[in-house]
């Protein structure tokens, strides 16, 4: 199985800060990576697919990059609605797997 | 509007069975892959199983943790996805999400999630 490792596991940042979350795959997944955002008590929402393609309706302050085993999600200017947990997910091979999550708190 | 609405969750004893349903609307159900993903209390996301689309004969794929106990199926006439869960264990306690995997960039990728239904396995 492909293991997905996210870092950090949690962070606290202020509104307007630049935030970077990383995701590492245990083997090459090309660019077959999605980023999801989940607010407490709600279903996850897709932000990015193919590592760097923004889902329709997602603000442009979110950018994704990477290929192979190392990926990043950057929020250029953190907004209050960005709190919650971010998950990366690989769809290169079965079983489909997720990272453990990065919890973002607003200072 | 694309919508997924899960139902059927509840409290069940270890060793028991439960069937979850997911009513889909707003898109061509037969064209898309569909997934079940679960989230144990306070934990991360875990993929459970997949139903491929009609073109792929609705074939299925499962996580090792549920293989042989859970079955994903569809009723095309009702635009509904199902998860039959047998031999339930306390570790199966979770919120279960129905997820559409739509075609993007030539691959089927999870893109729209239902609100989830809660399954509690306890004596």
Q: What is the mean pLDDT of chain B?
A: 97
Contacting A with CB below 8 Å, chain B residues are 35, 44-47, 50, 61, 63-64, 97, 104-105, 107-116
Using a CB–CB cutoff of 8 Å, tell me whether A62 touches chain B: no
Give chain B positions within 8 Å (CB) of A53: 104-105
Question: What is the distance, to the nearest Å, from the Cα of residue B7 to the centroid of all Cα atoms in its chain?
Answer: 11
**Mean pLDDT computed over A13-32:** 97
Q: pLDDT (tens digit, 9 = 90+) per residue, A27-70?
A: 999 999 999 999 999 999 999 999 999 999 999 999 999 999 99
Q: Is A9 on the interface with B (CB under 8 A)?
A: no
Task: Give the whole-number percent of chain A exceeding pLDDT 70.
Answer: 100
Q: Who's near A37: CB < 8 A, 6+ residues apart?
A: A44, A45, A47, A82, A84, A85, A86
The span from the CA of B10 to the CA of B6, in Å, is 12
Across the interface, whether the CB atoms of A96 and B113 are under 8 A apart is answered no
Position B105 scores a pLDDT of 83
- pLDDT at residue B50, as a whole number: 98
Is residue A16 helix, strand or coil? Answer: coil
Q: Which residues of chain B have pLDDT under 50?
A: none
pLDDT at res. B58: 96
Q: Facing residues of B84 across strands?
A: B19, B71
Partner residue facing B45 (CB), from A49, A95, A98: A98
Contact A98 B97 (CB under 8 A): no
Structure-token pair, residue B68: 């042989």
Residue A67 touches partner B, C-beta closer than 8 Å: no
Strands of the sheet containing B18-25, edge to edge, are B3-7, B18-25, B80-85, B70-75
> How close A26 gets to chain B, by Cα (Å)?
17
CA B122/CA A53 separation, integer angstroms: 42
Is B50 in Cβ contact with A96 (below 8 Å)? yes
């Amino acid at each position: 199985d492909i293991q997905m490792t996210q870092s950090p596991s949690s962070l606290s940042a202020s509104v307007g800060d630049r935030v970077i979350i990383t995701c590492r795959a245990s083997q090459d997944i090309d660019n077959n990576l999605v980023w999801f955002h989940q607010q407490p008590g709600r279903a996850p929402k897709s932000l990015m697919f193919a590592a760097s393609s923004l889902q329709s309706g997602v603000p442009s302050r979110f950018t994704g990059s990477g290929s192979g085993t190392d990926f990043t999600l950057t929020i250029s200017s953190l907004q209050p609605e960005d709190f919650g947990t971010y998950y990366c997910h690989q769809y290169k091979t079965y079983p489909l797997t997720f990272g453990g999550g990065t919890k973002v708190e607003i200072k | 509007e694309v919508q997924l609405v899960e139902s059927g969750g509840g409290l069940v004893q270890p060793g028991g069975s439960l069937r979850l349903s997911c009513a889909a609307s707003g898109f061509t159900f037969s064209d898309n892959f569909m997934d079940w993903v679960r989230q144990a209390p306070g934990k991360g996301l875990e993929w459970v199983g997949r139903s491929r689309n009609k073109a792929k004969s609705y074939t299925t794929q499962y996580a090792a943790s549920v293989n042989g106990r859970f079955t994903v199926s569809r009723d095309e006439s009702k635009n509904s996805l199902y998860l039959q869960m047998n031999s339930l264990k306390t570790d199966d306690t979770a919120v279960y999400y129905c997820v559409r995997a739509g075609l993007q960039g030539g691959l089927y990728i999870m893109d729209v999630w239902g609100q989830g239904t809660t399954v509690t396995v306890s004596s």
